[in-house]
Amino acid sequence: MMDWAYLFEISLTGVAGGGLYSLAALAFVIVYKATRVVNIAIGEMLMAGAYLFFTFAAMFALPIWLAIPATVLGSGLLGAMIERTMIRPLLGEPPISVFMVTVGLGSVLVGLVEVIWTADQRRLPEFLPAQPIMIGDAFLAPKIFWGAVIAVIFIAAVLLIFRFWRGGIALRATASDQAAAYSVGINVPRVFSLAWVFSAMIAAVSGIIVGSIGGISSSMGVFGLSVLVVVIVGGLDSVLGALIGGLFIGLVEALAGAYLGGEYKLLATFIVLVAVLLVRPYGLFGTHEIERL
Amino acid sequence: METPQSGGRAAPLLEVDGVTLAFGGVKALSGVGFDVRPGSITAVIGPNGAGKTSLFNTISGFYRPTGGSIRFKGQDITSVPAPRRARMGLGRSFQNIALFRGMTVLDNIKLGRHAHLKTTVLDALLYIGRASREEAELRRDIEERIIDFLEIDHIRHAPVSALSYGLQKRVEMARALAMQPEILMLDEPVAGMNREETEDMARFILDVREEWGVTVLMVEHDMGMVMDLSDHVVVLNFGQVIAQGAPATVQTDPEVVRAYLGSGDVDELRRRLRTSGVTEGSA
- Other CB atoms within a 10 A radius of the CB of residue A256 amount to 22
The pLDDT > 90 percentage for chain B reads: 45
- What is the Cα–Cα distance from A162 to B124, expressed in whole angstroms? 9
Judge whether residue B1 has pLDDT over 50.
no
What are the residues of chain A with a beta carbon less than 8 Å away from any beta carbon of chain B?
160-161, 164-170, 172-173, 176-177, 179-180, 182-188
Judge whether residue B3 has pLDDT over 70.
no
- The interface predicted TM-score (ipTM) is 0.76
pLDDT recorded at residue B24: 84
pLDDT recorded at residue B129: 54
pLDDT recorded at residue B70: 95
Stretch B272-276: mean pLDDT, rounded? 63
pLDDT recorded at residue A131: 86
Asked if residues A247 and A177 have their Cβ atoms less than 8 Å apart, the reply is no
Asked if residues A184 and B85 have their Cβ atoms less than 8 Å apart, the reply is no
Residue B67 forms beta bridges with which residues? Answer: B20
Stretch B99-118: mean pLDDT, rounded? 81
Taking an 8 Å cut-off on Cβ atoms, the answer to whether B82 and A182 are in contact is: yes
C-alpha pair distances (Å), B151 with each of A236, B63, B160, B175, B207: 37, 33, 15, 13, 12
Which residues does chain B have within 8 Å of residue A191's beta carbon, measured at their own beta carbons? none
Residue B83: closest C-alpha in chain A: A185
- Other CB atoms within a 10 A radius of the CB of residue B255 amount to 12
The pLDDT > 70 percentage for chain B reads: 78
Which residues does chain A have within 8 Å of residue B82's beta carbon, measured at their own beta carbons? 182-183
Asked if residues B33 and B17 have their Cβ atoms less than 8 Å apart, the reply is yes
Cβ burial B196-235 (10 Å sphere, 16+ → b, else e): ebbebbbebbeebbeebebbbbbbbbbbbbbbebbbbbbb
Q: What is the CATH number of domain A11-279?
A: 1.10.3470
pLDDT-derived band at B265 (thresholds 50, 70, 90) equals low
- What is the distance between the terminal CA atoms of chain B, rounded to a whole angstrom? 26
User: Residue-wise pLDDT tens for chain A (293 aa)?
Assistant: 568 888 999 999 999 999 999 999 999 999 998 888 999 999 999 999 999 999 999 999 999 899 999 999 999 999 999 999 999 999 888 889 999 999 999 999 999 999 999 888 988 888 888 888 888 878 888 999 999 999 999 999 988 888 877 788 888 888 888 889 998 888 899 899 999 999 999 999 999 999 999 899 999 998 999 999 999 999 888 889 999 999 999 999 999 999 998 889 889 999 999 999 998 888 888 776 544 44
Taking an 8 Å cut-off on Cβ atoms, the answer to whether A165 and B91 are in contact is: no
- What is the Cα–Cα distance from B13 to A146, expressed in whole angstroms? 61
What are the residues of chain B with a beta carbon less than 8 Å away from any beta carbon of chain A?
60-62, 81-84, 86-87, 91-94, 98-103, 111-112, 114-115, 117, 119-121, 124-125, 127, 131, 175-176, 179
Of A32-46, A150-164, B5-19, B110-124, the range with the highest mean pLDDT is: A32-46
Taking an 8 Å cut-off on Cβ atoms, the answer to whether A176 and B103 are in contact is: yes
The whole-model pTM stands at: 0.82
pLDDT-derived band at B270 (thresholds 50, 70, 90) equals low
| pLDDT tens-digit readout, B190-215 | 888 888 889 999 999 999 999 888 99
Which residues does chain A have within 8 Å of residue B131's beta carbon, measured at their own beta carbons? 164
Q: CA angle B249-B251-B255, nearest 5°?
A: 95
| pLDDT tens-digit readout, B63-91 | 999 999 999 999 999 999 998 999 899 99
